Amino acid sequence: MQKPRIRWHIAVFLAPAVLVYTAVMIFPLFNTLRLSLFSKVDQERVYVGLQNFQTLFGDPVWSEQFWNALGNNFWFFLIHMLVQNPIGIALAAILSHPRLRFAALYRSAIFIPTILSFVIVGFAWKLILSPIWGIAPGMLDAVGLKSLFAPWLGKEEYALTTLALISVWQFVGIPMMLIYAALLSIPEEVLEAGEIDGITGMSAFWKIKLPLILPSIGIISILTFVGNFNAFDLIYAAQGALAGPDFSTDILGTFMYRTFFGFQLQLGDPHMGSAIAGAMFAIILVGVCIYLFGIQTRMRRYQL
């Protein structure tokens, strides 16, 4: 009997990723969670257990802001699910049409905003929608719809939806690319077999392609969920840390930032900030678990 060799190469190959990931992700994550159990009393850091969370959910000053941010976050996510992903799928379906000309051009054009910085996107859209210098009022005027224009980013009732749609504009390329790749991987034979059975055109999409790309849609949904609940940059770039007007665009990310680092005269409170970060982590964890155990395991997969 030969002793099984220790397979060092596995450890060696894993090491760089594990070390880097531990140093920049896992350790900070747990350290943040640890920090949320402390508080600062008279210049000393003391252990307070779950008191920060109690303040966050029990004190009306904090809980009101938290639920407002969470509600806004759900709205932000909902818009992405209802607008970004269907449009992404539709674009992918159109792009994968064999007779479409300039497909590569459209594909790049739609994908380019994804690689732009949030700051550029936020600033560009602020200028486009600006009631003073923007081109949006002029364009609406040209088609006789000037009356529809409003300073959207400055109105409590529209600001969050506007920002969500800007984010959709920026990121619609991602679901499009993923679905596009999934659609291309569907073998011709399957579609031809369907054609023989009389399934063509739109019904081929609904009955053959859609069930086959469902796992990709699931992945996109979960990416959207995680992305949206971690969102911060666009709101911060467009509306600042106070997420105006009147906190109508405040999401968990901006709430956490304001609390952790402080704002204007408000001094930063790393411990309460960590508590909010902990709550965000829990929400995302629950969401991902629901998806993994509730949805993904029940999804039917087809061997192609």
Partner 1 sequence: MKRNIISLALAGTALVATSAYAEDVTLTIESWRNDDLTLWQDKIIPAFEAEHPGIKVKFTPSAPAEYNAVLNSKLDAGSAGDLITCRPFDASLALYDAGHLADLGGMEAMGNFSDVAKSAWQTDDGSASFCVPMASVIHGFIYNKDAFAELGIEVPNTEAEFFAALDKIKEDGSYIPMAMGTNDQWEAATMGYNNIGPNYWKGEEGRLALIKGEQKLTDPQWVAPYATLAKWGGYLGDGYEAQTYPDSQNLFTLGRAAVYPAGSWEISGFNALVDFEMGAFKPPVQNAGDTCYISDHTDIGIGMNAKTANPDAAKTFLSWVASPEFASIFGNALPGFFPLSSTPVELEDPLAKEIVGWRGECESTIRSTYQILSRGTPNLENDTWGASVAAIKGTSSPEELSQELQDGLASWYAPQQ
Question: Does 154 engage in binding with partner 1 (CB under 8 A)?
Answer: yes
Question: Does 147 engage in binding with partner 1 (CB under 8 A)?
Answer: no
* CB contact set of 195 (below 8 Å; sequence gap of 6+): 204
Distance between CA atoms of 91 and 109, rounded to whole angstroms?
12
Question: Does 240 engage in binding with partner 1 (CB under 8 A)?
Answer: yes
Question: Does 62 engage in binding with partner 1 (CB under 8 A)?
Answer: yes
Rg over CA atoms, the chain:
24
Question: Does 265 engage in binding with partner 1 (CB under 8 A)?
Answer: yes
Q: Determine the interface stretch with partner 1 among 22-30, 78-86, 89-97, 263-271 (rule: CB under 8 A).
A: 263-271
Question: Does 43 engage in binding with partner 1 (CB under 8 A)?
Answer: yes
Question: Does 245 engage in binding with partner 1 (CB under 8 A)?
Answer: yes
Question: Does 156 engage in binding with partner 1 (CB under 8 A)?
Answer: yes
Give the residue with the Cβ less far from partner 1, 6 or 267: 267
Give the residue with the Cβ less far from partner 1, 143 or 265: 265
Beta bridge pairs of residue 149: none
Helices (H), ranges, the chain? 8-21, 27-35, 51-58, 60-79, 85-95, 103-115, 118-128, 136-142, 159-171, 173-184, 188-196, 201-204, 210-229, 233-239, 252-261, 270-289
Widest pairwise Cα distance in the chain: 87
Q: Determine the interface stretch with partner 1 among 94-102, 130-138, 177-185, 187-195 (rule: CB under 8 A).
A: 130-138
**DSSP summary character for residue 48:** -
Q: Determine the interface stretch with partner 1 among 21-29, 33-41, 237-245, 290-298 (rule: CB under 8 A).
A: 237-245
Question: Does 303 engage in binding with partner 1 (CB under 8 A)?
Answer: no
Q: Which of 83, 87, 150, 190 binds partner 1 (CB under 8 A)?
A: 150
Q: Which amino acid is at 87?
A: I
- Closest separation between CB of residue 296 and partner 1, Å? 41
**245-266 CB burial, b ≥16 within 10 A, e <16:** bebbbbbbbbbbbbbbeeeeee
* Residues contributing to the site for partner 1 (CB under 8 A): 43, 61-62, 126, 129-133, 137, 150-156, 239-240, 242, 244-247, 263-267, 269
